[in-house]
Chain A
């Protein structure tokens, strides 16, 4: 099956810093989504982005499907950005997403 690798596994930053999280996948995809799991365990959908670039406030994401990777950018980090970020991918014809292992982001005040 498709493999999804996220890097780095852990990232610790000071408030105000910028960060880039990466998601590599092993096959062509037609569905890619980014999620944030906050410290209370809630999973929030950030982006549906099978290709191209999207922005939502301080967050933006870019997927280069031909090169099989996606990047999540967080600018001017805040402590509320802490948590685990997951990417999930789906392939043509499949009704299920495969999740990466996540990147744990800690933003210190």
Chain B
């Protein structure tokens, strides 16, 4: 499968602290995405990127920011973590065209206490 690595795999943090999750892909994919998965809500898009320094909001972007300074790295930052952001976060990437398969990383389980 596509080489997508997420770090950390697990994190526990306290309410109010900033948190950064990292996604690294080795496929030279143009498009990258951050999703969160919660029981009863399925997979929801937080932010996505269509190139270096080109990003846009998804359906649940409040409280999150992203940055993409290199093709291979896409960072998700929770500016001030809240308990409602406890979730499993998945990064995904897609090749040069939108009509190519989407591939996911293994996820980061984040707990905000």
**Do B101 and A86 have beta carbons less than 8 Å apart?**
no
Is B3 on the interface with A (CB-CB < 8 A)?
no
- Chain B residues with Cβ below 8 Å from A43 are 90, 92, 104, 107
Interface residues in A44-67 by Cβ distance below 8 A to B read 44-45, 48, 50
Is B100 on the interface with A (CB-CB < 8 A)?
yes
- Chain A residues with Cβ below 8 Å from B104 are 35, 42-45
**Do A95 and B102 have beta carbons less than 8 Å apart?**
no
- Chain B residues with Cβ below 8 Å from A35 are 102, 104
**Do A45 and B107 have beta carbons less than 8 Å apart?**
no
The range of chain A's interface size is: 20 to 34
Q: How many B residues have CB within 8 A of the partner chain?
A: 23
Is A83 on the interface with B (CB-CB < 8 A)?
no
Across the interface, B99 reaches (CB within 8 A) one of A48, A99, A102, namely A48
Min CB gap A90→B, angstroms: 7
Interface residues in B71-113 by Cβ distance below 8 A to A read 88, 90, 92, 98-104, 106-107
Known: A42-B106, A44-B1, A96-B58. A30 touches B99 (CB 8 A): yes
Interface residues of A, Cβ cutoff 8 Å to B: 30-31, 33, 35, 41-45, 48, 50, 86, 88, 90, 95-97, 99-102
Interface residues of B, Cβ cutoff 8 Å to A: 1, 31, 33, 42-45, 48, 50, 56, 58, 88, 90, 92, 98-104, 106-107
